[in-house]
Amino acid sequence: MESVLSGRDTLAVMPTGSGKSAIYQVPALLMDGPTVVVSPLISLQRDQVEGLLGRRGGAGGAVQANSSQSEKARGAAFAALRAGAVEFFFLAPEQLAKPEVLDALALARPSLFVVDEAHCIASWGHDFRPEYLRLHSSIERLGHPTVLALTATASPPVREEILRRLRLRLPHEVVCGFDRPNLTFEVQAVREDEQRREAVVMRAMSEAKPGLVYTATRKSAERYAFDLAALGIDAAAYHAGMRAAEREDVHERFMHGRLDVVVATTAFGMGIDKSDVRFVLHAEVADSLDSYYQEVGRAGRDGGPALAALYYRPEDLGLRSFFASGRTDVDALRKVVTLVGHAGGPVGPLALAQEMDLSVPRVCGLVNLLEQAGALHVSPDGSITRICREISPPQAAAAAAEVAECHRRVDQSRVDMMRAYAETSDCRRQFLLAYFGETLGEPCGRCDTCAAGTAEQQLDADSSPYALQSRVSHAVWGVGVVMRYEGDRIVVLFEEVGYRTLSLEAVRARGLLQVAS
């Protein structure tokens, strides 16, 4: 709060339930001008608005503007903003892609720009919701008010990407620790789908309620919910294929204690203020440990004991690897550069999307890659111009494709780390904390590997060849950070290729790693 009130851009990474919302809600009331809050989910926006209006006696006025509202309701929200009756204005990143929305916000002269669930910049921004990568343009269009990025879970590369994507100025980072001592971590290996389904259903039935079950597909969510309901459990599925009213009903029933179990794909639960979730079961592996820890963090927010269990089948990683290895459409990249170059001036993403017969998010994703490659420039109002005409469209497309390939390598390394977590015989809590850049001196005694007696004391940092969190360089993979030791292996996070696990014997014998200055 002191950092925000001093006008300094800030990134706060704090555990679930530690009061992240208060970090912007209190300073906002002490600063002149409204606060813009970018929030990824409509349900999350609604919960935050209701909390401000209800529990805090109005808190200076809070409104939301999103696609679920009628045109009249959105108009009323902007009218209240123009009248100066709003302190908190909640919206999704897609709304900021509209020039009229940015114009209205600019006239209101916001004093604080909040990016809630900021890890979405890394996990969703590349492809799924590329509007997240345009937030820096919106910030500049609004005169760069003080920026606050908030998340409960962000590994070192995700934190670095948040700072870079938002272009924060001299940012102050507050990282308050990732350990959740009240959570018990387990992984159960399964061989067949039927064995997994029975194990998950029986565990969800036997554990204290309420709880969450996460699945990789909509079909699986519906199947598990049906199986649980058949056993007399108040269970319901939740996924993007359902009608909005159905999702709303599931959300409300779960929040008010009228559902024992929600079986969901990954979107459900983000930012939900429900403290008494007693278990989170993953029927399939998550796409990364970042996502996994974010999802299990929804359990035990009241400080009471809670379970985080993963049901692991190695074949499931094939689906995650498939998503992490998507090919880049070089022809589409080349066409974007050509069309922008022939436009004779700035061109908007909507006009570009119509010319290419693609969706606006798809075009934004292509433009993001080309901007990172130095081929295009995106102005704060969203207009796109060609930077260097000496670089041909094929050359620009090839450079952008290499940027995408770098993203792919890092994403694949995250899948590999998910596999390593599921298959480790070391303390799972030590493994998770090391992934997020923290150390735990000895095995936790509160995970399945500790209970089985397989977790061993990690290599003493004083006797190790490289200190934890030290910077090292590799002849091929470049600069990296030492994350953890696994017996006779070392895990290094490289800036260009992600996580790599190396044999200490090979490192020593061949001089593979050098201490970086």
Cα separation values, 82 from 10, 101, 105, 285, 354, Å: 27, 12, 9, 46, 32
Across all residues in the chain, what is the average pLDDT? Answer: 86
396: domain CATH number?
Answer: 1.10.10.10
Percent of the chain with pLDDT over 90: 41
pLDDT digits (tens, 9 = 90+) for 345-374: 889 888 999 999 998 878 888 988 898 888
Beta strand segments in 48-155, E: 62-65, 88-91, 112-115, 146-151
Q: Is 266 left (phi over 0), alpha (psi -120 to 50) or beta?
A: alpha
Domain end point (choices 128, 143, 175):
175
Sign of CA dihedral 131, 136, 142, 146: positive
Alpha helices per DSSP H over 346-392? 349-356, 360-372
Q: How confident is the model at residue 224 (pLDDT cuts 50, 70, 90)?
A: very high
Contacts with 460 (C-beta within 8 Å, 6 or more apart), sequence order: none
In a domain, 454, yes or no: no
φ/ψ of 109, rounded to 5, equals: 50, 65
Tell me the average pLDDT across 32-48.
Answer: 82
Three-state SS letters, 172-230: EEEECCCCCCCEEEEEEECCCHHHHHHHHHHHHHHCCCCEEEECCCHHHHHHHHHHHHH
pLDDT score recorded for residue 458: 55
CA dist 50 and 66 (Å) reads 15
Same domain, 72 and 137: yes
Looking at the 3D structure of the chain, how many domains does it have? Answer: 4
- Give me the helix-helix angle, 393-423 and 317-324, nearest 10°: 160
Same domain (yes/no): 62, 146: yes
Query: Of the ranges 12-16, 140-144, 403-407, which is most confident?
Result: 140-144
Report residue 85 as tokens: 């009756």
* 493 and 350 within one domain: no
Residue 480's pLDDT is what? 87
CATH number at residue 193: 3.40.50.300
Residue 42 and residue 167 in one domain: yes
Residues 152 and 21 in one domain: yes
End-of-domain residue from the set 268, 287, 322: 322
pLDDT of residue 43: 66
What's the pLDDT at 470? 83
Pick the closest to residue 128 from 407, 435, 493 (CA basis). 407
Residue 336 lies in a domain: yes
Would you say residue 410 has pLDDT above 50? Answer: yes
> Quick one: pLDDT at residue 403?
87
Cα–Cα distance for residue pair 311/427, rounded to 1 Å:
17
Q: What is the pLDDT of residue 407?
A: 81
Assess whether pLDDT exceeds 60 at residue 127.
no
What pLDDT band is residue 68 in, cutting at 50, 70 and 90?
A: confident
DSSP 328: P
Q: Are residues 251 and 274 in the same domain?
A: yes
Give the separation between CA 284 and CA 314, rounded to whole angstroms: 10
Domain membership flag for residue 193 = yes
**In this structure, are 213 and 280 located in the same domain?**
yes
**pLDDT (tens digit per residue) in 289-346:** 988 998 898 899 889 999 999 999 988 877 665 555 567 789 999 999 999 998 878 8
Predicted confidence band at 463 (pLDDT cuts at 50, 70, 90)?
A: low
Q: What is the pTM of this model?
A: 0.79
Same domain, 289 and 352: no
The larger pLDDT score, comparing residue 211 to residue 157, is at 211
| Domain with 92 in it | 2-175
Task: Rank 9-18, 80-89, 141-150 by mean pLDDT and report only the highest.
Answer: 141-150
Query: Looking at the domain assignment, is residue 411 inside a domain?
Result: no
Whether residue 354 is found in the same domain as residue 217: no
Q: Angle, nearest 10°, between helix axes 289-296 and 393-423?
A: 50
H/E stretch holding 449 reads: helix 448-452
Backbone angles phi, psi at 42, to 5 degrees: -60, -40
In a domain, 455, yes or no: no
Beta bridge partners of 243: none
Domain contains 428:
no
Cα 387–chain centre separation: 31
440 belongs to a structural domain: no
How many Cα atoms occupy the beta-carbon half-sphere of 186 within 13 Å? 19
Q: Inform me whether the pLDDT recorded for 147 exceeds 50.
A: yes
Q: pLDDT at residue 271 above 60?
A: no
Which residue's entry shows tokens 């494709």? 401
Considering the domain architecture, whether residues 198 and 219 belong to the same structural domain is answered as yes
316 plus 344 within the same structural domain: no
Q: What is the CATH number of the domain that holds 477?
A: 2.30.30.140
If one counts every other C-beta atom within 10 angstroms of the C-beta of residue 79, the result is 13
280/380 same-domain check = no
Separation between Cα atoms, residue 25 and residue 36, nearest integer Å = 11
Q: Is residue 189 part of a domain?
A: yes
Is it the case that residue 270 has pLDDT exceeding 50? yes
pLDDT of residue 125: 45
- Quick one: CA dihedral 9, 15, 20, 23, positive or negative? negative
Indicate the pairing of strand 211-214 with strand 183-189.
unpaired
